[in-house]
Structure 1
């Protein structure tokens, strides 16, 4: 059985975001994929990045 992704998380998909990590590092880009654990695949200027959900402090939508 496939778990449904939380609708609140899906609103970030294909949007430009700023992700701030718990160690205060920041990553800016477009979310390609996100799951219920906030594991995120981000497209940035430097390529594709995988960010583990447990490291994320918060995600901000960019205009």
Structure 2
């Protein structure tokens, strides 16, 4: 039995980046680029890069932008 009120929902503002090419600027001033595969409400992300999949913890992200 599924209760829609208790279902986990990701913020729509974060979902607009899903499956798009993005630039993540990290708090240590590094950048990560790739196609955003997954994101959650804590900004934990999975990027598809030229080197494979990369997981980035949300606490390390300063901001997300589309090129």
With structure 1 as the length reference, what TM-score do the two structures score?
0.94
Q: For structure 2, which runs of at least 5 residues remain unmatched after alignment?
A: 1-5
Distance 1:2 1:20 in 2: 30
Which residue of the other structure, out of 37, 50, 60, is the alignment partner of 1:45? 50
With structure 2 as the length reference, what TM-score do the two structures score?
0.89
User: Relative to total residues, which structure has the larger strand share, 1 or 2?
Assistant: 1
Rg larger for: 2
Q: For structure 1, which runs of at least 5 residues remain unmatched after alignment?
A: none
Aligned length: 62
Distance 1:10 1:25 in 2: 23
Aligned structure 1 segments of 4 or more residues deviating by more than 4 angstroms: none
